[in-house]
């Protein structure tokens, strides 16, 4: 059972938009920045979003992040088959004194 | 090139010890925290702990405190993750990752697969 809650799977057609939610509490998302990672099959995770909304250089603006209260959302527009991957949210938990991740969401591009 | 290069896959027996490594290059290794993340087969990401190679300040996740040892040798820009007595449940992929300015990881190694089986 992960501290952060994500839907196990989402799907959408190529070209469409999809959102992935990440729900937590005041000890984590509510008072700390959220990051998002993409893990393509058989590869290491890759940073997509940090500090709730910021994209590292090289990440296309099709990927965006937002946060409201104790929840965060990753949005992906203009879906491509190459976006099929597992997506994880992460943040610091002040009560646990630990980095916590969501359980991951598998994105299928139909 | 900025990168983290991890040591190769390991196959061990229960009760054996193991130390895996993560070598940073292309950036100032001593100025960034290096974390370790476990991924069990078919599962999500578990943060294990983190070390600041500049002074070896180390923090552990409560879930992994006492189970593993994280260390670093700044003279060779390398961080380590060590077990004294492996269990079958330690079978997983282990990633090292560089921490950015806050609690996120902006650079990841390719992972070291550890298999523990009798």
**C-alpha–C-alpha distance, residues A72 and B92, integer Å:** 28
Output the DSSP codes for B31-95: GS-EEEEEE-TT--EEEEEEEETTTTEEEE-TTTTTT-EEEEEGGGTEEEEEESS--GGG-EEEE
Tokens linked to B22? 């993560």
Q: What is the pLDDT confidence band of residue B114, given thresholds at 50, 70 and 90? A: very high
How many angstroms separate the Cα of B70 from the Cα of each of A17, A96, B79? 41, 19, 7
- Whether residues B35 and A99 touch (CB distance < 8 A) is answered with yes
Mean pLDDT rounded to a whole number for chain B: 97
pLDDT of residue B54: 95
Tell me the per-residue pLDDT of B54-106, one tens digit each, with 9 for 90 and over.
Answer: 999 999 999 999 999 999 999 999 999 999 999 999 999 999 999 999 999 99
Angle CA(A109)–CA(A99)–CA(A76) in degrees, nearest 5?
A: 20
* Residues in A 9-38 with any Cβ partner in B closer than 8 A: 32-33, 35, 37
Residue B52 has pLDDT above 90, yes or no: yes
Q: What is the pLDDT confidence band of residue A1, given thresholds at 50, 70 and 90? A: confident
Mean pLDDT rounded to a whole number for chain A: 97
- Whether residues A44 and B109 touch (CB distance < 8 A) is answered with yes
Percent of chain A scored above 70 by pLDDT? 100
- Across the interface, which of A47, A96, A100 has its CB nearest the CB of B106? A47
Angle CA(B68)–CA(B71)–CA(B73) in degrees, nearest 5?
A: 155
Q: Backbone phi, then psi, for A28, in 5-degree steps?
A: -125, -90
- Whether residues A32 and B103 touch (CB distance < 8 A) is answered with yes
Tokens linked to A88? 């994880």
Tokens linked to B107? 């650079």
Give chain B positions within 8 Å (CB) of A20. none
pLDDT of residue B6: 98
Tell me the per-residue pLDDT of A41-64, one tens digit each, with 9 for 90 and over.
Answer: 999 999 999 999 999 999 999 999
- Across the interface, which of A32, A46, A101 has its CB nearest the CB of B47? A101
Percent of chain A scored above 90 by pLDDT? 97
Give chain B positions within 8 Å (CB) of A56. 106
- Across the interface, which of A43, A50, A104 has its CB nearest the CB of B104? A50
Size of the A and B interface in Cβ pairs below 8 Å? 68
């Amino acid at each position: 059972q992960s501290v952060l809650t994500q839907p196990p799977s989402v799907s959408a057609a190529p070209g469409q938009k999809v959102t992935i939610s990440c729900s937590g509490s005041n000890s984590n998302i509510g008072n700390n920045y959220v990051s998002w990672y993409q893990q393509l099959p058989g590869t290491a995770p890759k940073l997509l979003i940090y500090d709730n909304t910021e994209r590292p250089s090289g990440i296309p603006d099709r990927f965006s992040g937002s946060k409201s209260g104790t929840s965060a959302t990753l949005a992906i527009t203009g879906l491509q088959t190459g976006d099929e991957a597992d997506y994880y949210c992460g943040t610091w938990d002040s009560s646990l004194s630990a980095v916590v991740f969501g359980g991951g969401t598998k994105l299928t591009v139909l | 090139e900025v990168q983290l290069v991890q040591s190769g896959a390991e196959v061990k027996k229960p009760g054996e010890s193991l130390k895996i490594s993560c070598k940073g290059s292309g950036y100032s290794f001593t100025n960034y925290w290096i974390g370790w993340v476990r991924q069990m087969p078919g599962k999500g990401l578990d943060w294990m702990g983190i070390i600041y190679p500049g002074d070896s300040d180390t923090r552990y996740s409560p879930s992994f405190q006492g189970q593993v040892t994280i260390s670093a040798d700044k003279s060779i820009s390398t961080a380590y993750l060590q077990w004294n007595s492996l269990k079958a449940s330690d079978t997983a992929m282990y990633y090292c990752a560089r921490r950015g300015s806050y609690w996120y990881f902006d650079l990841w190694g390719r992972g070291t697969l550890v298999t523990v089986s009798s």
